[in-house]
Chain A
Amino acid sequence: MVSYIIRRLLAAIGVVIVISMITFAIFYLIPKLAGATPESMAARYVGKSPNPGQLKAAAESLGFNDPVPVQYWHWLHGLVAGREVNNGTSIDHCPAPCLGYSFRTSQPVLPMIEKRFPVTLSLAVGAAIIWVLMGVTIGVISALKRGSAFDRFAMTLALAGVSLPIFWTGLVSLAFFSYNLGWTPPGASYTPLTENPLKWADALLLPWITLALLFSAQYARLTRAGMLETMGEDYIRTARAKGLPEKTVVLKHGLRSALTPILTIFGLDFGLLIGGAVLTETVFGLPGLGQLAIQSTKNNDLPPVLAVVLITAIFVALCNLVVDLLYAVIDPRVRTR
């Protein structure tokens, strides 16, 4: 098992390196192929109507005069061993893992990530709890009461949940619950958990529900389909024939088996969310990784984009690993293989 985990971790590192190379290439190589020079690339980060001297100085300070592989090496070196950066008045040491400095604001990226990660984590964990509980429960009940009014209502609702874009549900829920009814605080009201847990939950309630609505719809449909298939299996009939209580049949034998594909999807979904729920964070003004990614992409600010991509890749890989390990817990057949 240990060697399996080590192999998976090494593979994850490989994936992360490849992804960072691709991101780097998209940022540098595509403009270069289109004829961009170091000065013209620096023009993105300087004020209006810069003179040639300004552009030259900016290109030099941003490292654009180095060949792309050298720039990538500097970034990678910073990640592993840290690097030193001249901020004008002093030489700053950026310790490993140094994620570089924003091209636009000249601020180090790691503190940005450290500040924003708890926001995204709060959003993802809260929403995940809601959507798993809601989605799985609705899915199980729908499967058990197949064809009933509840089943139809729940599946219609699920269809609506999947179809409605989050920027619409988000804005509408803000307009209704915050500005009309005054039940929830307005957008961009995030308070850290450590500062005030009640305000933290209050500000996140609407984003949690909005995000969970989208996912719980998918999970309800998945659970329902899985349960319908499982409940028709021979071993379920056998369990019933043995006289097991229905609760045990459904939860221990039915749901347990139906959960396996859901767990796979959950691993991917949760890992991606940790990299930032871009739309939810943007609509609700939550200063998380998704908002950073979108702002930095808009500004052509590579270092923060690269950092968010890196974190997303790491978490997707990690969540997948955890899911694979959990398979063994849920499904005894995996253990015996």
Chain B
Amino acid sequence: MRSTRKRAAVALIAVAALGLAAACGTSKSSDNGGSSEPKLDNKALDSVVNASDQKGGTLKMGLGGAWGDSFDPGDTYYGYSWDLGRNYWRTLVMNKTAPGKQGLELVPDIATDLGKSSDGGKTWTYTIQSGLKFEDGTPFTSKDIAYAVSRTVDRAVLKQGPSYFADLLNWPASYKGPYKSPKNADISSAIETPDDTTIVFHLKQPFAEFDNLASLPATAPVPAAKDTGAKYTTHPVSTGPYMWKGNVDVATGGTLVRNPNWDASTDPNRKALPDQIDVKLGLQADDLDNQIISGDQDVDIAGTGVQPAALPKVLQSKELSARSDNPVIAREWYTQIIGTVKPLDNVDCRKAVIYAMSPTSYQNAYGGKFAGGEIATTVLPPAIPGYKDTDEYGLKANPNGQESKAKDALKKCGQPNGFSTTIGYRSSRDKEKKVAEAFQQSLGKVGIKINIKPMPDDTYTSELCGKPSYLVDNKVGLCVYGWGADWNTGYGYLAQIVDSRTINPEGGSPNFAIRVPEVDKLVDQLAVEPDAAKRAEISTQIDQLVMQNAYIYPGIYAKAVLLRGKDLTNVFLNDAFGYYDYTALGKKQ
């Protein structure tokens, strides 16, 4: 009995201690206006926070986990890699280092001006500045850029980067890149370098947005003599204001130090404020948030926002929310409605799905409006030129779904009692699982029975949702998905996800569903239209056509809660990346 009383006392003390701890925690963290809606600073979305030209200090950048792909400019496809990489590479042109939408503007970098097109947009010529040097002091020329672009053709060696140059330039039929083709192979049908400061690209088809391709890391010069193929990632030779000190490791990171052979007078785009940038990889994501909160790290390189564990703390603390931003990024989480799977071949059945689904449930599946995103009503997210705030199906006005309209649509499509179909999602993605469950719940209310099918991530696009025959054979009528642009224009965003000609019978296309001949024609127009304003109009038309044909349930425009390091200066979000501009950042001294 004595022992029982003792245990009870101990338990009481433990409960009291926990309660006290919880109370202390609450009082410390809920200092952002009690139960009212959290107010994030958001100043870095369209202006420079802590503007400064003061040089010096060490910028500490961390990443939860290993580097996504490679540090080699010819072998990288991650947005954060393209953003950070501009510290050690320079490309023909680049996105302006400026806040918000200003960052979408392309400005010359190595080149003296933007590209000049001829031959109806099939030929693009760039003149480059003279006297520019690699980190070892060797001058680089247009030939080093041609070499850099040509090596991206060899996807057996450089597997991970985009294949735009390999696909669009008019390479000789037998050309396999500099590693496997003869040393002096004639590639003049694709790239010419008539002199050291001129480079000419020849395309198979006209392409109006070639300047966007010229801003890709693949145009960063690579010295052929120093190219080590697959090993080049360990020390890519710098052309930018910083260079890697020794080697950089995709698992642990490295240190960027000042490049003595970078000439600031040739580069008005980069301030190069810190003396050194420490890139630390392999951190635990929750710990990285804690380090940014405490000031031990300055930036989370991934730029995808704080983890769920730190989110309440950031939203509720005045100090933390005052250094937080909540951008809508150029990415949308959506669900494709597969028109080849019966009865979704009927547009009214597809519309029934859209009406029945609860937009709020979709939003909640991704973590709500701060960490998840805004309810989407279009294919294009707001950051892309051509986005128009339209709402074909009244999704914002009816956040819980529209049962009566859904039932009407079902009657029109000859399925008044509903039907049954399967939804696929990527099994490792908990948010996509929640979306699938939300579809099951919402659509169940109008008689549409949804079977949920988790699918492996790595074959999702290549063999499952991306393979037309699989979808039909397995009656998969819905596929949860998401998309971000390689560059933020209508073509950059839409071309791969709405053009029916990208659908490959063998699988692999991110377009699982959209087959609208008028859309294909508009994509062709988009590719060659030289006027940016007109391209935006065409993008709007494409968006509206896809929505009218009900091939996409738009889900949410992605958002993230980004936390700025305590001592950062010159911070702003560049809409070209959806991250803080990593070339502009400085450190308080």
Contacts and interface: CB of A to CB of B under 8 A. Distances in A.
Our verdict on whether A and B bind, yes or no, reads yes
Interface of A: 31, 35-36, 39-40, 43-55, 57-58, 60-61, 87-90, 104-107, 112, 115, 171, 174-175, 178-179, 186-188, 282-285, 287, 291-292, 295, 298-300
Interface in B258-295: 280, 282-284, 286-288, 290-291, 293-294
A284 B155 contact: no
A292 B166 CA distance: 33
- Give the most central of A45, A48, A61: most B CB within 10 Å: A48
B163 A54 contact: yes
Interface of B: 62, 65-66, 69-70, 77, 151, 154-163, 166-167, 179, 227-231, 233-234, 249-252, 280, 282-284, 286-288, 290-291, 293-294, 296-297, 458-459, 461-463, 486, 496, 504, 506-510
A188 B283 contact: yes
Nearest to B67: A105
A179 B296 contact: yes
A49 B251 contact: no
Contact of B167 (A51, A285, A291, A299): A51
A210 to B, nearest CB: 13
Given A179-B293, A291-B282, 20 more contacts: A31-B459, A40-B463, A43-B459, A43-B461, A43-B462, A44-B458, A46-B159, A48-B486, A54-B159, A58-B155, A61-B159, A88-B158, A106-B159, A107-B233, A107-B250, A186-B287, A188-B283, A284-B284, A287-B251, A300-B458
B251 A61 contact: no
A2 B62 CA distance: 51
Contacts of B288: 187
B325 to A, nearest CB: 22
A104 B504 CA distance: 25
A175 B66 contact: no
Given A58-B156, A179-B291, A52 B508 contact: yes
Nearest to B231: A87
Contacts of B462: 39-40, 43, 55
Given A52-B508, A88-B229, A107-B231, A285 B287 contact: yes
A47 B160 contact: yes
Contacts of B151: 88
A28 to B, nearest CB: 14
A36 B462 CA distance: 10
Q: Can you list the 9 inter-chain pairs with the closest CB atoms, starting with the nearest?
A: A88-B229, A106-B230, A88-B157, A61-B156, A179-B294, A57-B156, A47-B77, A54-B155, A89-B229
A284 B157 CA distance: 34
Contact of B284 (A87, A115, A285): A285
Given A188-B280, A188-B282, A291-B282, A50 B155 contact: yes
A186 B291 contact: yes
Contact of B463 (A36, A52, A107): A36
Contacts of B252: 287
Contact of A55 (B160, B251, B508, B509): B508
B547 to A, nearest CB: 23
A105 B250 contact: yes
Contacts of B296: 178-179, 186
A33 B335 CA distance: 29
A50 B159 CA distance: 9
A175 B62 CA distance: 17
B251 A292 contact: yes
Contact of B231 (A53, A104, A106, A178): A106
B287 A174 contact: yes
Contacts of A178: 294, 296
Given A43-B458, A43-B462, A283-B287, A87 B251 contact: no
Given A54-B155, A58-B155, A284-B284, A175 B290 contact: yes
